[in-house]
Amino acid sequence: MKASVFSAASNQRALLVGLLYTLILCGSHWASWELRFDFAVPENLQTERLGSLLPLVAVKLLLLVVLRQFSSMLTYFSLPDLLRVVLAMSTASFGAFLFGVFARSEFTLPRGVLLIDLMLSVAAICTFRLALRVLREQRTGPTAKARSRKRVAIVGAGNVGASLARECASGRARGLQPVVFMDDDPQKRGGFVHGLRVAGRPDEVEAIRERYRFDHVILAIPGASEKRVREIITLMAAQGLAVDTVPSIDDLTSGRVKVSKIRPVDVEDLLGREAVQLDSEGIAASVKDHVVMVTGAGGSIGAELCRQIAVCNPSRLLLVEQSEAALFVIEQELVGAGFGGIIQPVVADILDRPRIRQVLERYKPARIFHAAAHKHVFLMERQPAEAVKNNSLGTLALAEEAVAHGVQTFVFISTDKAINPTSVMGASKRLAELALRQLHVSGQAGRTRMMAVRFGNVLGSSGSVVPIFKRQIAEGGPVTVTHPEVTRYFMTIPEAVGLVLQASVLGEGGEIFVLDMGNPVKIADLARQMIQLSGLEPDVDIEIKFTGLKPGEKLYEELQHHTESHVPTTHPRIRKFVASSESTLGGVHEALVGSVPKLHTWEPNDIKSWLNQQIPEYTPYVE
């Protein structure tokens, strides 16, 4: 019953479309004779005009059917439809011309009539279709109230900016009314794109805003340098303008998203770094067809490791995580991305050696990326036993099991806080580095390549200040910063993980790699910039409150210990540290193993004192 209803509706629609096209084509043909003969068609040609009308229109209708112009929605008219209409009309006119030349029929059409008929037919059908499209867009587009509510300026008058303006005009970017373009190209200044003037450079935003009255800016410059993007964002934020941006150039060219899917400019855009060039083939070859294990798979770094490793086609990817909830989230994400056939979620604690042993024996991983850790500085400062147990003993136990089960590569995710540590978290990570180094130097690592990779804070991780600042701004402040001069290094999560994978290819065993983290960022400046990005004014709309350094925190992160020197690697963003002496390695393994029965009987200060004995450069905070 439903099928018959749909069929009847479809037939009625086709009949209506055919009738409309017939009227348009008959009118075009009749008008072409009138125009050719200055509205005085000779009497002896009237019969020829009438005789040619129905055959020519019938051929045109048949060609429109063949080129799917009857089945396409009339109110959706685009460039492919235009080309098909032109092809249909041109074919019909050329066929009529050939028929007159070779058939020598009494109904030979004058060439002027054929040419005018071709132009009128194309123009009439296209005008009809465009009128229907404009009518649809006006009826379904944003209301005048919505348009007036968000008058926006578009930065970038290139292809992306033009596409965005077109999307806004069509109603697909609802609630936005572009009023002006800004662009760095002086040749575009004063020109028009889709009816909008290119008024000047972004640096002239104050004068342009006064003339065009907008409070919202959209960046449509996905190919611009990171430096220039930061400059423009800072300019707009200083004017109190809300700033959005179009998707990245990779997302746009891949077709994953449309240009109208704008999003707010985030701190990642403000602190963005130049794209990292990786040896993608080398990374993929090191992972492809191997079993790879990632610990801490539900954390920020672990989850990104899983994402980047999964696309390299490992034979199996083991997602090891203690938190069932965190493991479920990354598992569902990877299943949704099409990797359900290769992933294996494993609920396990790295301190549970029988369980880890069972996992290694069953799945036999060739690569282990160890990201599981306690990493919150202030939390670990108050319970140092847990930091040592998880970060130091857990790493040593996992590494020993990896050696025993023939794992080829063991990569430990360390931190820049392990350099001259002042926190228990940093000291516990440094102790883990030394334990791995001792396994390598003593020969106990066997054929397993042991290496550690250090880097600083990652934007968007659970321990980063960025999500904390976002929440505080959303709540109306204050934004809390520990000290006016505190600085940190920042990287994006994908960038850090990509370089970790690159380091795993470079390492031969025993190395400590340090990633190039760029220039340090003053946290107070970061807070001000995030407030400005929200369209607010620091210390006016949102207070910045300084709370003092917490136990274990440094003002400045350091790049290397005084006993270390760095040497370059084949990758410009990765350096390798070489210890000037192995004297600090003596007894690390024995001290760690010997601490097991005492950790939960010692007081926190006792544990810090013990850590200081193992790591002389550690400066503990003693309460």
Phi, psi for residue 37 in degrees, rounded to 5: -110, 25
Alpha carbon distances (Å) from 39 to 34, 35, 135: 4, 6, 33
Domain check: are 75 and 159 in the same one? no
Helices (H), 442-492: 465-474
Alpha carbon distances (Å) from 273 to 189, 277, 478, 495: 29, 12, 29, 9
Domain check: are 156 and 130 in the same one? no
Which residues form the domain of 200?
144-265
Note the pLDDT of residue 584. Answer: 55
Strand partners, 295: 320, 370
Strand partners, 491: 458
Note the pLDDT of residue 13. Answer: 66
Check if the beta carbon of residue 178 is closer than 8 Å to that of residue 153. Answer: yes
Q: In this structure, are strands 263-264 and 242-245 parallel, antiparallel, or unpaired?
A: antiparallel
Note the pLDDT of residue 623. Answer: 72
Note the pLDDT of residue 214. Answer: 87
Residue 301 has pLDDT above 60, yes or no: yes
Residue 355 has pLDDT above 70, yes or no: yes
- Is it true that the peptide bond before 568 is cis, omega within 30 degrees of 0? no
Write the CATH number for 308: 3.40.50.720
Q: Dump pLDDT digits (tens) for 225-262.
A: 777 887 888 888 778 788 888 775 555 544 455 555 67
pLDDT band at 6 (very low <50, low <70, confident <90, very high): very low
Domain check: are 302 and 429 in the same one? yes
Q: In this structure, are strands 511-515 and 177-182 parallel, antiparallel, or unpaired?
A: unpaired
pTM for the model: 0.67
For the chain, report the end-to-end CA distance as a whole number of angstroms: 82
In this structure, the dihedral spanned by the alpha carbons of residues 356, 600, 415 and 614, taken in order and rounded to 10 degrees, is -110
Q: What is the mean pLDDT of residues 429-436?
A: 92
Residue 542 and residue 244: Cα distance in Å, rounded? 21
Domain check: are 251 and 297 in the same one? no
Domain check: are 212 and 239 in the same one? yes
Phi, psi for residue 547 in degrees, rounded to 5: -105, -10
Q: Dump pLDDT digits (tens) for 573-590.
A: 888 887 655 545 567 878
Tokens 């009809």: give the residue: 128
Note the pLDDT of residue 367. Answer: 96
Q: What is the mean pLDDT of residues 420-430?
A: 92
Q: Select from 378, 601, 594, 597 the least CA-distant residue to 613.
A: 594
Beta strands in 98-190 (DSSP E): 151-155, 177-182
Residue 400 has pLDDT above 90, yes or no: yes
What H or E segment, with its residue span, contains residue 162?
helix 159-170
Catalytic annotation present for 417? yes
Domain check: are 360 and 223 in the same one? no
The two structure tokens encoding residue 265? 């400019």
pLDDT band at 295 (very low <50, low <70, confident <90, very high): very high
Q: Is residue 1 part of a domain?
A: no
Tokens 């299943």: give the residue: 335
- Residue after which a domain boundary falls, among 265, 299, 322: 265
Domain check: are 219 and 339 in the same one? no
Note the pLDDT of residue 333. Answer: 94
Percent of the residues in the chain that have a pLDDT greater than 90, as a whole number: 27
Q: Is residue 41 part of a domain?
A: yes
Q: Is residue 484 part of a domain?
A: no
Residue 618 and residue 31: Cα distance in Å, rounded? 93
- Residue after which a domain boundary falls, among 140, 171, 205: 140
Note the pLDDT of residue 393. Answer: 93
Note the pLDDT of residue 1. Answer: 44
Phi, psi for residue 530 in degrees, rounded to 5: -65, -35
Domain check: are 205 and 162 in the same one? yes
Q: Which of 75-89, 119-133, 283-297 has the highest mean pLDDT?
A: 283-297
Note the pLDDT of residue 103. Answer: 60
Q: Is residue 471 part of a domain?
A: no
Residue 469 and residue 530: Cα distance in Å, rounded? 8
Residue 138 has pLDDT above 80, yes or no: no
pLDDT band at 90 (very low <50, low <70, confident <90, very high): confident
The two structure tokens encoding residue 28? 């075009």
Annotated active-site residue in 417, 554, 576, 608: 417
Domain check: are 590 and 455 in the same one? yes
Note the pLDDT of residue 538. Answer: 85
Domain check: are 100 and 227 in the same one? no
Note the pLDDT of residue 172. Answer: 54
Q: What is the mean pLDDT of residues 261-289?
A: 75
Note the pLDDT of residue 144. Answer: 43
Q: Total structural domains in the chain?
A: 3
Q: Is residue 538 part of a domain?
A: no
Check residue 538 and report its DSSP letter: B
Note the pLDDT of residue 391. Answer: 95
Q: Is residue 405 part of a domain?
A: yes
Q: Is residue 112 part of a domain?
A: yes
- Give the number of other Cβ atoms within 10 Å of residue 558's Cβ: 14
Q: Is residue 467 part of a domain?
A: no
229 versus 324: the higher-pLDDT residue is 324
Domain check: are 578 and 449 in the same one? yes
What is the average pLDDT value for the chain, to the nearest integer? 82
Note the pLDDT of residue 189. Answer: 86
The two structure tokens encoding residue 341? 């056939």
Three-state DSSP class for 432? helix
Q: Dump pLDDT digits (tens) for 168-179.
A: 776 555 567 888
Note the pLDDT of residue 241. Answer: 83
- Residue after which a domain boundary falls, among 120, 140, 160: 140
Note the pLDDT of residue 44. Answer: 72
Domain check: are 148 and 135 in the same one? no
Please, what is the angle between helix 588-595 and helix 424-441, to 10°?
A: 130
Q: What is the mean pLDDT of residues 377-382?
A: 89
Residue 4 and residue 11: Cα distance in Å, rounded? 10
